[in-house]
């Protein structure tokens, strides 16, 4: 693996930035679809960090966890889109601030 070796620090920095972007999106967007997208970005940031760490130490665990995250993300999206459909049907809107009937 000689040649272009991206330093681990850089990858982790990228992962952190991606995570932060996702987090900011999650906290600031009101549309549920964008919130799900932001969540996806955050998941992938975490996955990237795993892969990079696995490559750095030459361990397969990183990629295993990546596969697990892919599966979790897929499951989350399927449930999430189902919820999106229900929200759209009931509230005629995707604004999550409107869905506050559980308030105390």
Partner 1 sequence: MATALVLIPLLPMLSAALLMIFGRRLPQQLVAIIGAGAVALSALCVLSIAQPFLATHQALQVQLWSWMQIGDFSPNFSFYVDGLTLVMMSIITGVGFLIHLYSTEFMQQDDSFSRYFAYLNLFIAAMLILVMADNLLLLYLGWEGVGLCSYLLVGFWYRDPANGAAARKAFIVTRVGDTAMALGLLLLYTELGTLEIQPLMTAANIHWVEGDGLAIVATALLLGGALGKSAQIPLHTWLPDAMAGPTPVSALIHAATMVTAGVYLIARTHELFLLAPPTLIAVALIGLLTALMAAFSALVQQDIKRILAYSTISQIGYMFLGLGVGAWGASVFHLMTHAFFKALLFLAAGAVIHCLHHEHNIFRMGGLRTRLPVVFWSFLIGAAALAALPLTSGFFSKDAILLAAWQAPGIGPLLWLGGLLGALLTAFYSFRLVFIVFFGELQTSPDKQPGWRMALPLALLCLLSLAGGWIGIPVREVFPPQEEQHAGFLVHVISIGIPLLGVWLAYAVYISKQISFQDAAASPRGRRWSQLWLAGWRFDDFYSWLLVRPYQTIARFLRNEPVDRFYDFIAAISLQFNHLLSNLQNGRLRWYATSMIMGLILMLILGMEGAT
Task: Collect contacts of 42-45 with beta carbons under 8 A, ≥24 apart.
Answer: 42/18, 43/69, 43/72, 43/73, 43/76, 44/18, 44/69, 44/73, 45/15, 45/16, 45/17, 45/18, 45/19
Residues 73-102 that bind partner 1 (CB under 8 A): 96-97, 99-102
List the one residue from 8, 14, 23, 77 that touches partner 1 (CB under 8 A).
23
Cα–Cα dist 41/15, whole Å: 10
Q: Which window, 1-9, 30-38, 44-52, 59-67, contacts partner 1 (CB under 8 A)?
A: 30-38
List the one residue from 15, 18, 22, 35 that touches partner 1 (CB under 8 A).
35
- Interaction mask 41-80, partner 1, x per CB under 8 A: ----------------------------------------
- Alpha-helix runs per DSSP H in 6-31: 8-28
List the one residue from 1, 2, 27, 60 that touches partner 1 (CB under 8 A).
27
């Amino acid at each position: 693996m000689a040649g272009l070796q991206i330093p681990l620090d850089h990858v982790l920095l990228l992962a952190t930035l991606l995570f932060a972007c996702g987090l900011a999106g999650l906290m600031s967007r009101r549309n549920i679809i964008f919130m799900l997208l932001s969540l996806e970005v955050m998941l992938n940031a975490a996955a990237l960090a795993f892969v990079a760490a696995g490559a750095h130490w030459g361990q397969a665990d990183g990629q295993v966890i990546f596969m697990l995250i892919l599966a979790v993300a897929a499951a989350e999206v399927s449930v999430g889109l189902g919820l999106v459909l229900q929200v759209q049907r009931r509230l005629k809107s995707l604004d999550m601030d409107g869905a506050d009937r559980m308030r105390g």
